[in-house]
Chain A
């Protein structure tokens, strides 16, 4: 893992506006060679992640999601946390730790962080299952 990678940033507090500005910009361009399944909620929110993987690490990550600013911010914050890390589900933070990484999100909106996490977990599962097929 990049335990070092994650632990060094897990206490980070992301600026909402910074994540939003970058997230809105990057979600409109960038094609990844592999995408995970989109995670969809009954309310219609959805997200999916894609990645360039090199030597078992996330070289770059990309996301697509509903036009919900909170979700965009959580997806971008997650990319900031794990880009460059090894492809392993253990690099993902726990929901309760992750949702408070972004400053200023009220509790009622924090579960949108779980959508980002679930979508990213779907990408990791896809990458791992493809690797198993190759083996």
Chain B
């Protein structure tokens, strides 16, 4: 099964759910499903800023496993980080997300 994650809520989503659950499982190849995309809202976008430690691990996994990473454009502009994301990580809104996933559609989209 293919899934995409949408990181919508803040709190411990990145430091805990992504960095301590999803990411290690992906790195170890035992997440259980194929992840095809991750989309980030609000402060969760800071993980995509170039140089972020968790982000760098995420980018490596994304490159190795062909996972789309995308930040919410409006969230990134508001935080003035739209032009400071890791190379190759786009920003966009839902049409951009669905367009980017069109060639590798998930079976489930999971909002965290």
Interface residues of A in 43-70 (CB under 8 A from B): 43-44, 68-70
Evaluate contact between B95 and A105: CB separation under 8 angstroms: no
Evaluate contact between B90 and A108: CB separation under 8 angstroms: yes
Evaluate contact between A109 and B91: CB separation under 8 angstroms: yes
B residues whose Cβ falls under 8 Å from a Cβ of A: 73-74, 77-78, 80, 82-83, 85, 90-93, 95, 99
A106-B85 contact, Cβ under 8 Å, with A17-B77, A20-B77, A69-B74: yes
A69-B73 contact, Cβ under 8 Å, with A104-B80, A106-B85: yes
Q: How many residues of A contact B (CB 8 A)?
A: 14
Interface residues of A in 108-135 (CB under 8 A from B): 108-109
Evaluate contact between B73 and A109: CB separation under 8 angstroms: yes
- Cβ contacts under 8 Å, B85 to chain A: 106
Q: CA of A129 to CA of B95 in the docked complex: distance in angstroms? A: 35
For residue A16, CB closer than 8 A to chain B, the reply is yes
Q: Report 30 cross-chain contacts, Cβ distance below 8 Å, ordered by A residue.
A: A16-B80, A16-B82, A17-B78, A20-B77, A43-B95, A43-B99, A44-B95, A68-B93, A68-B95, A69-B73, A69-B93, A70-B77, A73-B77, A104-B77, A104-B80, A104-B82, A104-B83, A105-B77, A105-B82, A105-B83, A106-B82, A106-B83, A106-B85, A106-B90, A106-B91, A108-B91, A109-B73, A109-B82, A109-B91, A109-B92
- Cβ contacts under 8 Å, A16 to chain B: 77, 80, 82
Min distance, Cβ B46 to any Cβ of chain A, angstroms: 15
Q: Which residue of B lies closest to A102 (CB)?
A: B77
18 other contacts beyond A69-B73, A73-B77, with CB at 8 A cut-off? A16-B77, A16-B80, A17-B78, A43-B95, A68-B73, A68-B93, A68-B95, A70-B73, A105-B77, A105-B82, A105-B83, A106-B82, A106-B83, A106-B90, A106-B91, A108-B91, A109-B82, A109-B91
- Cβ contacts under 8 Å, B93 to chain A: 68-69
- Cβ contacts under 8 Å, A68 to chain B: 73, 93, 95
List of 10 A-B pairs having minimum Cβ-Cβ separation, nearest first: A106-B83, A69-B74, A104-B83, A16-B77, A108-B90, A104-B82, A106-B82, A104-B80, A69-B73, A69-B77
